Amino acid sequence: MAELANYMPPLSISTIDLKRWGDLWLGDSNPETGQSKNTRCFDRQQSVNFASFIDFAFAKALAAMLGGIPIMRANGVALNPPIPDCVEIGSVRVIGGIRPQNFDAAYRPDGPRVVFDSKTLNDFKSVGKNWQNMVNDLATEAATVHTRFPYALVAFIVVIPKPTLGSKQETDIIRTLERLGSRKDVLDQAHLAEALALIIWNPETGEIDPLVPAQDSNLRIEKFSDNLYPHYLNRYKGLPPHD
C-alpha cells in the first residue's frame, strides 16, 4: 500500500517540448506530411495532441504525491481503473451528475478523487471566438463531477500562446479563471475547481511567460501543486488506500 507523500511535486513543463510545438505553430509547413499550413496556428490534429505532455506532467506529479503509484493508460469507456491504485492518463470516463465526461487524467480508486483536464486556445480566432465557451466547458465539467462527487478534486490547466492575446482579453480571461479556480470546501459551489492554472507561452522560445498571470495570482503554474495538495490531504488523509 503506497504511503501518501507530504507534498505534491511541482509540474515539470518542458521548455523543449513547448519550443518543439512552437516551431510547428510558427512554421509554414507540417514536417510530418510536407503539406503547407497556415502560420501561427496548429492544424486540427496538432491541436488535439498539443497538451499531451502537460497531461503527463500532471499525472507524474500526482502519482508521486500518492506514493509513487503506477501511471496507466485509460481505455476511454471503462468506469473503473485498470488496477485498483493507479493514476490514469488518456481518456478517463466519469459519469457525473450532469453528463458523462472524459478527462485527460484521473485518480479514482473508489470513484473519482482527482480529475484533470488541459484546455488550449491556439490561435487568434479561437481565443477571440471561443474563450468564453471554454470557460463554460470548464464550469460544466467541474459541476458534473461535484454534483455527484462533492469530495472530488477538479483541476484544470489552460494553455494559450502569448501572440494570440490582446491586453483586454488577457485581463478578462485571468479574472474569470481566478474566480473559477477558487473552490475551497465541499460545500462551495459545484462549478468551481479546486486548482486551476493558466500557462501563457512564447512559441518562439518555448518559455512560459514569467509575468502573466501576476505573481500573486492563484493561476500561477508554480502554485498549482501547492493549491491542490491541501485539498486532497484534508479530504482523504488516513482513508484507504492511505491508512
- Per-residue pLDDT tens, the chain, 243 aa: give them: 689 999 999 999 999 999 999 999 998 545 455 444 557 899 889 999 999 999 999 999 999 999 999 999 999 999 999 999 999 999 999 999 999 999 999 999 999 999 999 999 998 888 988 999 999 999 999 999 999 999 999 999 999 999 999 889 999 999 999 999 999 999 999 999 999 999 999 999 999 999 999 999 999 999 999 999 999 999 999 999 997
- From the list 109, 155, 110, 3, the residue with the least C-alpha distance to 65 is 3
Which residues on adjacent β-strands are paired with residue 3?
none
Beta bridge partners of 161: 201
Cβ atoms 201, 37 nearer than 8 A = no
For 49, the grid coordinates are: 495532441
- Judge whether 52 and 89 are in contact, CB under 8 Å: no
The radius of gyration computed from the CA coordinates of the chain, to the nearest angstrom, equals 18
Distance CA 66, CA 1 (A): 10
Angle separating helix axes 124-146 and 167-180, nearest 10 degrees:
10
